[in-house]
Amino acid sequence: MTQFLPATSTAISQAADLLRDGQAVAFPTETVYGLGADALRPEAVLRIFAAKGRPADNPLIVHVAEVADVEPLVARIDARARLLMERFWPGPLTLVLPKAARVPNQVTAGLDTVAVRLPAHPVALALIREASRPIAAPSANRSGRPSPTTARHVYEDMNGRIPMILDGGACAVGVESTVLDLTEEMAVVLRPGGVTLEALRELLGEVRVDAAALAPLKKEIAPRSPGMKYKHYAPDATVVIVSGTEEGRAVLASRLYDEAKVAGERAVILAPAEQRCAYGPRVFRALGRSGKPGEAAAQLFAALRELDAQGFQRIIAEAVEAEGIGLAVMNRLCRAANFAIEHAD
């Protein structure tokens, strides 16, 4: 049985007790819900992998409540890392740093680096503080499913598999943190997320984006972020992305929709609210407003889950401009679509 509790201070204390006892519990962050366990105890960390059905070679992010709590987890913190922490923590930025020996291999999947983050959510921070230990936490979905942005989503995936879910409402950002590799001279975004590439470049100057962010991985290249190699964020429905001008997208998406209907599939268009009238009587689900990628980010995972629950077999999604947080939205959409993109011209 999984306890589903509003995140009151009593419930947070109970959850912290479970964490100290080596159990895994789900909690809200500003990005998505996390499934946390004591990062320094291998048997606790293995409970996360078991509950999610996560491959053991995909490392976890370690969450802390104070910048000072990073020190025991890493080999060193350079000036660049300090600058990033000062500017973006608490917040949706994960830093990959050389790891300290005490971080178990189960957390880092045997890598010599560790990913650390200080989340901007009062419940997450209170929980980590009260547990008084670093908390390893991936997104609290079953492996391969869209990440949970409400406690209800966590319940759908995790009921009966973990002892407790703390309900702290819907996540404000809605896509996961930006994962930034700082192990080499050039900082590399391994996963675009809540902190934008533009903001990172403003602070650091040059920042690279890993090739896996918007293109399928080439088989012969080992991904720097192991999570990139898995089918991810995927609903049960087949997702197709349509790119091009506003008008071009509507024409192409309409055609794909009509073809799906002829083939007997239940199809839906996922696009900015303003595009609704371009689709006439076709089934339409709004994903935020045009030019507001933050709204698309906040709603994307919930929309994918909802459309699955409604039994749609094909989701025809309009591309989002890959700027600002739109880059993270496109990354998640591309992965949900297994990189099936049709270009209108």
- In the list 34, 90, 168, 288, the residue contacting ligand TXA (rule: CB under 6 A) is 34
137 binds ligand TXA (CB under 6 A): yes
Residue 304, contacted partner among Mg ion, ligand TXA, none, CB below 5-8 A by kind: none
Here's the x/- map for ligand TXA, 184-223, by CB under 6 A: it reads as: ------xx--------------------------------
- In the list 123, 179, 260, 344, the residue contacting ligand TXA (rule: CB under 6 A) is 179
- Using CB positions, name the residue nearest to ligand TXA: 227
60 binds ligand TXA (CB under 6 A): yes
> How far is it, in rounded angstroms, from Cα 164 to Cα 15?
7
Residue 106, contacted partner among ligand TXA, Mg ion, none, CB below 5-8 A by kind: none
139 binds ligand TXA (CB under 6 A): yes
Nearer to ligand TXA, 100 or 283 (CB): 100
- In the list 7, 40, 61, 188, the residue contacting ligand TXA (rule: CB under 6 A) is 61
Cβ contact 190:181 at 8 Å = yes
Nearer to ligand TXA, 55 or 244 (CB): 55
> How far is it, in rounded angstroms, from Cα 293 to Cα 288?
7
Stretch that binds ligand TXA, among 6-14, 59-67, 127-135, 280-288 (CB under 6 A): 59-67
Reduced to 3 DSSP states, what percent helix, strand and coil does the chain have, rounded to the nearest 5?
Answer: 35, 20, 45
Output the six-digit token pair for 83.
């600058």
Say how many C-beta atoms besides its own lie within 10 A of residue 76's C-beta. 9
113 binds ligand TXA (CB under 6 A): yes
Cβ contact 193:32 at 8 Å = no
Chain residues 280-339 in contact with ligand TXA, contact rule CB under 6 A: none
Q: Is the peptide bond before 55 cis (omega within 30 degrees of 0)?
A: no
Cβ contact 141:26 at 8 Å = no
Amino acid 166 reads L
106 binds ligand TXA (CB under 6 A): no
Stretch that binds ligand TXA, among 6-14, 90-98, 240-248, 249-257 (CB under 6 A): 90-98
> How far is it, in rounded angstroms, from Cα 165 to Cα 151?
7
From start to end of the chain, where are the E strands? 3-6, 25-27, 34-38, 61-63, 93-98, 113-117, 135-136, 164-167, 178-181, 187-191, 207-209, 238-243, 267-271, 284-286, 314-318, 341-343
Instruction: Report the nearest approach of Mg ion to the CB of residue 233 (Å).
Output: 8
Residue 177, contacted partner among ligand TXA, Mg ion, none, CB below 5-8 A by kind: ligand TXA
**Torsion angle of the four alpha carbons 225, 229, 235, 237, in this order, in degrees rounded to the nearest 10:** 150
Residue 8 vs residues 83, 102, 166: alpha-carbon distances, Å:
34, 32, 9
Instruction: Report the nearest approach of ligand TXA to the CB of residue 193 (Å).
Output: 6
Binding residues vs ligand TXA (CB under 6 A): 29, 31-32, 34, 58-61, 92, 94, 96, 108, 111, 113-115, 117, 119, 137-139, 176-177, 179, 190-191, 224-227
